[in-house]
Amino acid sequence: MNWRKLRTLFLWAFALSLIPATRYYQIDVPLLHFLRGHHVDPLSLHLAGEFVENNLGTEQNSDGSVTVRMIAQQYLFIPHCIVVPVGVPVHLRITSADAVHSLTFNGTDDAVKVLPGTVSQTQLQFPKAGDYKTVCREFCGAGHYAMRSEVKVVPRDQFPTLQPGERGTCAAQ
């Protein structure tokens, strides 16, 4: 075998090894979540369970962290604007009511794949206060390019002074 063939073989082996690497987050992680019971019925999200309307938004946990629950659907994220305190762990739980979406936060590297039928959960943290645009990065239909919302990251001492309603949506502020 000459060097040329060996190089071709090596490049093929490298290219093929990328397939399991990319499919891990796209397929295996959501599948694992599903198999572990993190599944929800996308058609009845608003009727019962964790993702009913008054349970969405930011909830303060006793250890100082917060839990954020959101729904992605064509073509918006609900709540449209959320408030979180700066510098604390944010446990994000999000599911889709229809297509596959991907929630990203401008100015950070975080990206959360959102699939109907399963709950995607991830932990993030915003090191700086300010407004972060959230953008859908998975083409999900005609209105995809308008699918964006906002996270307001507020000082840690300001967050507990907010009314429960103000934590769910920033529109009131």
Chain residues that interact with Cu ion, rule: CB under 5 A: 101, 136, 140, 144, 147
Query: Which H/E stretch holds residue 23?
Result: helix 3-23
Q: How far is the CB of 136 from Cu ion (least distance, A)?
A: 3
Looking at beta carbons only, is 94 or 154 nearer to Cu ion? 94
The three-point CA angle 39-42-48 to 5° equals 85
Residue (66 or 136) nearer to Cu ion, CB: 136
Q: Which is nearer to Cu ion, 84 or 136 (CB)?
A: 136
For Cu ion, the closer CB: 75 or 159: 75
Nearest distance, CB of residue 148 and Cu ion, angstroms: 9
Rg (CA), the chain: 19
Q: Containing H/E element for 31?
A: helix 29-35
Q: Which structure tokens are listed for 9? A: 């073989």
Cβ 102 to Cu ion shortest distance, Å: 7
Q: How far is the CB of 111 from Cu ion (least distance, A)?
A: 12
Ramachandran bin of 57, using left for φ above 0, alpha for ψ from -120 to 50, beta for the remaining angles: left
